[in-house]
Amino acid sequence: MKYIALIAHDGKKDELVEFVMRFHKFFSQVPTLATQTTGSKLAEKGISVETVASGPRGGDAQIASRITEGQVAGVIFFRDPMGKHPHEPDINMLLRLCDVYNIPLATNPATAELIARNIT
Domains and CATH numbers, the chain: 3-118 (3.40.50.1380)
Catalytic: 90?
no
Which sign, positive or negative, has the C-alpha torsion 91, 92, 94, 95? positive
Among the listed residues 60, 80, 90, 99, the single catalytic one is 60
Q: How far apart are CA 35 and CA 32, in angstroms?
A: 10
Query: Per-residue pLDDT tens for 74-93?
Result: 999 999 877 776 777 888 99
Query: Per-residue pLDDT tens for 41-78?
Result: 999 999 999 999 988 898 999 999 999 999 999 999 99
Query: Per-residue pLDDT tens for 1-33?
Result: 899 999 999 999 999 999 999 999 999 999 999
Mean pLDDT of 97-116: 95
State pTM to two decimals.
0.93
